[in-house]
């Protein structure tokens, strides 16, 4: 299981920092459409994590894809996101994915097959958009 402490240490953040707070908000808003592991990419005690997160500025476009590797002991090895900030490994989408993973033991996270992972976000995206209520920021 990944701990909040591990997320903070790995990302160099704290629970009151912007990326962490925004990651929590994404998760609470249901923007993580799918999160699972890919057994094909498992190696030497590590699991490949794959997640899809709605783009906050372009909800109807393809979601951001988050890829990473986490050890079975809960140590974060690598994470990357398709968003502009994701190459720095510390974006809100990655943080939201990692917080989601704190809810489960690594080996209990849903397994996604290689054939269904690319399309697995389409139905949840339609459901999220149908129930999404936009709010003014100011």
Residue 133 confidence (pLDDT): 61
3-state secondary structure of 30: coil
Residue 3 confidence (pLDDT): 95
The domain locations on the chain are: 4-110
Residue 42 confidence (pLDDT): 58
Cβ pair 24, 12 in contact under 8 A: no
The helix (run of H) or strand (run of E) holding residue 11 is helix 4-11
The helix (run of H) or strand (run of E) holding residue 39 is strand 32-43
> pTM score, two decimals?
0.79
Give the contacts of 113 (CB within 8 A, at least 6 positions apart): 38
Residue 120 confidence (pLDDT): 53
Residue 137 confidence (pLDDT): 42
Provide the residue-wise pLDDT of the chain in tens; the chain has 138 residues.
899 999 999 999 999 999 999 999 999 999 999 999 886 555 678 889 999 999 888 877 889 999 999 998 899 999 999 998 756 678 999 999 999 999 988 778 888 876 655 555 555 556 665 666 665 544
Residue 118 confidence (pLDDT): 56
Give CA separation, 73 vs 15, 24, 48, 106, 125, in Å: 22, 23, 13, 8, 31
Residue 126 confidence (pLDDT): 60
């Amino acid at each position: 299981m990944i701990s909040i402490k591990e997320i903070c240490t790995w990302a160099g953040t704290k629970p009151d920092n912007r990326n962490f707070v925004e990651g929590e908000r994404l998760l609470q808003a249901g923007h993580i459409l799918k999160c699972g592991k890919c057994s094909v990419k498992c190696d030497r005690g590590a699991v490949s994590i794959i997640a899809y997160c709605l783009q906050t500025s372009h909800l109807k476009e393809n979601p951001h894809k988050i890829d990473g590797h986490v050890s079975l002991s809960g140590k974060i090895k690598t994470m990357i996101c398709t968003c502009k900030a994701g190459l720095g490994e510390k974006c809100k989408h990655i943080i939201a994915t990692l917080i989601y993973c704190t809810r489960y033991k690594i080996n209990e996270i849903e397994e996604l097959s290689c054939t269904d992972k690319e399309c697995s976000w389409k139905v949840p995206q339609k459901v999220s958009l149908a129930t999404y209520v936009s709010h003014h920021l100011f």
